[in-house]
Amino acid sequence: MFARFIQPTSARLVFPPILRLVRPMSSLSSKSYEHILVSSPRPGVGQITLNRPRVNALNTPLMSELNDALRAFDDSKATGAIVITGNERTFAAGADIKEMQNLTFSEAYGKEFIRLWSDVTQISKPVIAAVNGHALGGGCELAMMADIIYCGPKATFGQPEIKLGVIPGAGGSQRLVKAIGKAKAMELILTGETFSAEEAERWGLAARVFETPEKCVEEALKTAETIARYGALAVKAAKEVVNQSYEVGLSEGVKYERRVFHALFSTKDQKAGMAAFVNKTKPEWTGE
């Protein structure tokens, strides 16, 4: 959950070239954000770049802007998938300690401090985290809220809250256990040690690791574009049933999957997709 666990070498953010070659999404272009950059670099793809100076320390204003942009993309029929990224040195180095260091229990508990962070998981469209550099504390938690994690070669993950006298507070202890197992998650959370991109991939937290930061973002956008080409209802249902496996046991999960599978036979996209397969033509998705 917490804090600036690295010392930045420069106050200037360094963005890979791929992040600059983007065009604004028309429905969001009129909005002004202070801590994020929003674009639509490929057909059907929304991109949100964390852009808070120094190390992308997460705070309430940034997370509010992130949630607003995510909801806008989620509501847009022109967007089928979303990529969240940072810069080549830092995805997000943690939560901003200055925002929370003087909080009392009654203040934190009373106003449900950082509850809004979990709004990221309410997005119905697939979200890909393209992680370069540090993803520590809240940055690691944010990455784990995504549906897919892609890593650059120097991506570093960790939940070092124990070093501050606290614990993860935005889902880190729960999602890390489910992703890599209790034993390894317990070791990492109790020691505060970090782990590499290669380890994240090997343990099942990350889907892929790429040789450069630019390639990481490029491939995340490519995957998002591929997803966006498919029928929106099937994509939404696929995300929903996979996530359901985290919430229920195997038998209940299989039953839920079957019910959603059956429901898709009421859609025009199911008829179009299967007819195109049989007739060896390209399906025309309508999202209906």
Average pLDDT over residues 274-279: 80
Q: What pTM was estimated for this model as a whole?
A: 0.85
DSSP for 4-25, written as a single string: --S--S-SS----HHHHS----
In which band, very low, low, confident or very high, does the pLDDT at 256 lie, cut at 50, 70 and 90? Answer: confident
- Measured distance CA(285)–CA(229) in Å, rounded: 8
Least confident interval from 119-128, 216-225, 276-285: 276-285
Q: How far is CA 246 from CA 11, 114, 171, 239, 281, in A?
A: 39, 22, 13, 12, 36
Question: What is the pLDDT, as a whole number, of residue 214?
Answer: 97
Domains and CATH numbers, the chain: 36-229 (3.90.226.10), 232-279 (1.10.12.10)
Question: What distance in Å separates the CA atoms of residue 13 and residue 56, rounded to the nearest whole number?
Answer: 9
pLDDT at 263 over 80: no
C-alpha 101 chain-centroid distance: 26
Q: Residue 77's CB: how many other CB atoms inside 10 A?
A: 9
State the Cα–Cα distance between residues 94 and 284, nearest whole angstrom. Answer: 43
pLDDT at 90 over 90: yes
pLDDT reported for residue 30? 59
Contact between 246 and 178 (Cβ < 8 Å): yes
Which residue's structure tokens are 């889902």? Answer: 171
- What CA–CA distance (Å, rounded) separates 29 from 79? 14
The more confidently predicted of residues 17 and 112 is 112
pLDDT for the residue numbered 28: 61
Report d(CA 124, CA 280) in Å as an integer.
30
Q: Could you tell me the end-to-end alpha-carbon distance of the chain, in angstroms, rounded to an integer? A: 39
pLDDT digits (tens, 9 = 90+) for 7-43: 443 333 334 433 333 344 445 655 789 999 999 999 9
Rounded CA-CA distance 160/152 in Å is 21
Q: Which of 47-56, 92-101, 185-194, 196-205 shows the lowest mean pLDDT across its residues?
A: 92-101
Residues 204/179, Cβ–Cβ less than 8 Å: yes
What whole-number distance in Å separates Cα of residue 173 and Cα of residue 199? 18
Whether 157 contacts 195, CB under 8 Å: yes
Residue 118 predicted with pLDDT over 90: no
Please check whether residue 70 is in contact with residue 48, taking contact to mean a CB–CB distance below 8 angstroms.
yes
DSSP assignment string, 262-276: HHGGGSHHHHHHHHH
Q: What are phi and psi of 65, to 5 degrees?
A: -65, -40
Angstrom distance (rounded) from CA 21 to CA 1:
31
pLDDT at res. 124: 96
Rounded Cα distance between 262 and 93, Å, is 43
Residues annotated as catalytic are 95, 138, 141, 161
* Token reading at 43: 């057909």
Strand 156-158 with 194-196, pairing: antiparallel
- CB-facing half-sphere around the CA of 24: CA atoms within 13 A: 10
Average pLDDT across the chain, whole number = 86
